[in-house]
Chain A
Amino acid sequence: MNRVGLPRALIHYKFSEMWVTFFQELGAEVIISPKTTKKIKQEAVNIAPNEDCYSTKLYYGHVMAIKDQVDYLFIPRYGASDKKYVGCPKFIGLAEVLRSMFPDLPPIIMPHYNTAKGRDGKLSFYFKAMKIASMFTKNPFKKIRAFRLALKKHNQHKKDLVIDEKTLYKWEQSKLFLNDSPKSNPGERQLKIALVGHSYVLNDPYASLDIRTILKEQGVDIITSEQMPRELIEKQMDKQNFQLYFYYEREILGTIMHFLESKTVDGIIHIMVFSCGPDSIAGEMAARFSKRNPAVPLLQLVFDELTAETGLKTRIEAFIDMLRRGIDEQIIFQTTKVHV
């Protein structure tokens, strides 16, 4: 009677290490929903409220995929983990909406955590974790051990994912690969592209139509926005008079602003999800900044449940062709300049 279900969508991609370790250490059986498939998507689109964003819709599909196999669903009401900046309101409301729309779901464990507006601190985080732990075991040592291990795993995951400025510099000098090494095309220069978007889109091959593999096949080396060093992002965002207060959007916009300024990549691909609220702000600002500083081309792609893979492929190929031609023309231009 202690199988816990974690839907593989939204903030699961940020905190999965922590949650899985925590429940496993408590002796619970963790069931994560399978990766997004066409079936999950279709069910999600049928049952979800029709104005939610595509990623939130997928969440409903993931919940439906595991609801019969689990005793508890773990859907935290996550407000923010930063002192000032908040997440998306959907993260807070999701658990309650699910409970209200489908009363026959298994009991939902929904701790609320919000440091920006809910006055939650480190201590209340501990107490909330202990409260959940008491549902599974009575052994206090086991509880504390699970809590500590979970935090350790989470920090380790963050450390592995986020690079420091030195590594970024090395990557910009083409000395190392941050992700899988791309296919090398003989006779062509290796392109560098920053792939920018929410972690729950970039890491979900179905939702992002496997854009990573498409880029790899094209021989493009990528860096994603979640890998970027936080200091660089904060430095870029501090240039604004009034701070953008959506935490994950800061990551996206900061990455775009950094590469527009430093010009160390050949192009930027910004992936947006249809009718995502914060994305509409960041997308507009990114487009305006790119127009003012057009040295690095920016491609903005909007994903929803109707996006087809062929269309996406064509556009990415066209974008990459444009980048390659741009470099060649620059070389011709430079050489002619030298001769004259």
Chain B
Amino acid sequence: MSISFPHVGSFTYVMESICHEMGRTDVVVPNKPTNKTKQLGSRHSPEWMCTPFKMLFGSFIEVLERGAYELVGTLFIDYCRLGYYTPIYEIILEDLGYDFEFLHLNFNNPTGFIQEMKRRTAGLTYWKTFRAFQIGWIKNRFIDIADKCLYSYQAVELEKGTSQRVVNRAHRKIVETKGMRNIRKLRKIIPKMFEDEVEIDKKADPLRVVVVGELYAVVEPSINLDIMTKLNELGVISYTPITFCRWIDVGSRANPFKRPSFKTAIKKAKPYVEYRLGGKTQESIGYSIMYKEKGWDGVIHLYPFTCMPEIITRSIIPQISREYEIPILSLVLDEHTGEAGLKTRLEAFIDLIERKRKVNGDNIK
């Protein structure tokens, strides 16, 4: 009766630690999706279903074959298909003849959510179950910090591969830390780890590029072919404001003294897309404008093939690019995306923004 979940970028570590906090020792941790996972997922999926569905499905089949029984599934009502993945997975997996059971975690129904979680814990009380979930969302913040550090240090490191090694240790440390007091200390420990261990080129003046777009396409390195690291290899600092914190960080949303950044982004996007229409449409547009105003050099917009809300973003982005003079590169990703094609386009885009900065700098002089 082991519990498992699909691989979703570095959010996997959060899910792993939630499962540990729930008192489960029989956790099947998913492997990183490979080409085989993509093929496995798309073989059994509907033809023009969005790519995250296929990738997650491949990941589910892999963990089922490694002996998992309980699978984490989410349900919610939205304009996007993401809320209805679990029922379709159930139907297809039943037809394929697997033995499994889904956790129906319904985001529209918080009490049902905690009840369902409690049922799967090793006999914890409601309070402890909630506490486990809380530890999950707090750890998610530190995972975000670790990723932010990685993608800025990696761009300017002197010895290639140091920051990758440090982040692997940092992720493990986040997963293994126990006790709320120790966990809260991680906020200072993780940046310190990078500061101490990674030697950086202090003279470098790297470009800064922000990556926006659909959540899964941004956070999962195997669908976007690790675009963040590819940017780092070109000597560019990359950062994504789109993480899972909007999904699970209940704490910062309930905090009246703190204004989450996505609310500012949505406000910025109002003249272009006034009402929420699912996905990350408003956030993508808003963050592009916000980071331009902060002085970042370019924006990369990622979205999976046939994603309904992001096609709308894709159509509006040329106007944003024109009005605010932001260089924006829109990339469609699916299971057939080739590495060489992506790399060439990234290199061309970076050359373009580098030249733009040079020209602007000359003008100022």
The answer to whether A and B belong to the same complex is: yes
Confirm or deny: B342 has a beta carbon within 8 angstroms of a beta carbon on chain A: no
Q: Are B274 and A280 in contact (CB under 8 A)?
A: no
Query: Contacting chain A: which of B19-27, B29-37, B72-80?
Result: B72-80
Contact yes or no, B309 A245, CB < 8 A:
no
B92 contacts A288, C-beta separation under 8 Å? yes
Residue A161 at the B interface, CB < 8 A? no
A interface, CB within 8 angstroms of B: 49, 51-52, 77, 79, 84-86, 88-90, 92-93, 96-97, 100-101, 112, 114, 116-118, 240-242, 244-245, 274-275, 277-278, 280-281, 283-285, 288, 291
Closest CB of chain A to B149's CB: distance in Å?
A: 35
B189 within 8 A of A: no
B303-314 to A contact mask, C-beta < 8 Å, 1/0: 001101101101
Q: Using CB atoms, name the residue of chain A closest to B91.
A: A288
Kindly list chain B residues whose C-beta atoms are within 8 Å of the C-beta of A285. Answer: 88, 91
- Give the contacting residue for A245; candidates B48, B77, B95; CB below 8 A: B77
In the complex, B81 has a CB within 8 A of chain A: yes
B225 contacts chain A at the CB level, 8 A cutoff:
no
B87 in the interface (beta carbon within 8 A): yes
Q: Is the CB of A92 within 8 A of B316?
A: no
Complex interface: chain A residues within 8 A of B273 (CB): 93, 96
User: What residues of chain A lie closer than 8 Å to B91, measured between beta carbons?
Assistant: 284-285, 288
Q: Is the CB of A241 within 8 A of B104?
A: yes
Known: A97-B315, A284-B46. A277 touches B275 (CB 8 A): no
> A275 is contacted by which of B48, B86, B309 (Cβ under 8 Å)?
B48
Instruction: Assess the B275–A114 pair: CB atoms within 8 A.
Output: yes
B221 within 8 A of A: no
On whether A112 and B77 interact (CB within 8 A), knowing A51-B311, A90-B312, the answer reads no
> B residues 75-104 with Cβ under 8 Å of A?
75, 77-81, 83-84, 86-88, 91-92, 95, 104
Q: How far is the CA of A203 from the CA of B262 in the complex (A)?
A: 41
Residue B129 interfacial (CB < 8 Å)? no
A-B residue pair count with CB separations less than 8 angstroms: 109
Contacting A118 at CB < 8 Å: which of B77, B275, B305?
A: B275
Contact B81 A88 (CB under 8 A): no
A85 to B311, CA, bound (A): 22
Q: A278 contacts B81, CB within 8 Å?
A: yes
| Residues of chain B at interface, number, CB under 8 A | 43
Which 9 pairs, one residue from A and one from B, show the smallest C-beta to C-beta distance? A93-B312, A284-B46, A89-B79, A89-B277, A92-B277, A277-B308, A100-B319, A97-B315, A245-B77
Report Cα–Cα, A290/B316, bound state, in Å.
Answer: 40
- 29 A-B residue pairs with Cβ-Cβ distance under 8 Å, sorted by A, are A49-B314, A49-B315, A51-B305, A51-B311, A51-B314, A84-B77, A86-B79, A89-B80, A89-B278, A93-B277, A93-B309, A96-B272, A97-B312, A101-B315, A112-B274, A112-B275, A114-B275, A118-B275, A242-B86, A242-B87, A242-B104, A242-B106, A275-B48, A278-B81, A280-B46, A280-B48, A281-B46, A284-B49, A284-B91
Within 8 Å CB of A52, what residues of B?
Answer: 311
Interface residue B281 (Cβ < 8 Å from any Cβ of A) = yes
* Complex Cα–Cα for A25 and B91 (A): 50
17 further contact pairs, Cβ within 8 A, besides A49-B311, A92-B79, A96-B272: A51-B306, A79-B275, A84-B77, A86-B77, A90-B312, A100-B319, A101-B319, A112-B274, A241-B87, A242-B104, A245-B77, A275-B48, A277-B50, A281-B49, A285-B88, A285-B91, A288-B91
Check B276 for interface membership: any CB of A closer than 8 A: yes
- Residues of B with C-beta under 8 A to A274: 48
By beta carbon, the residue of chain A nearest B306 is A275
Q: Which A residue's beta carbon lies closest to that of B106?
A: A242
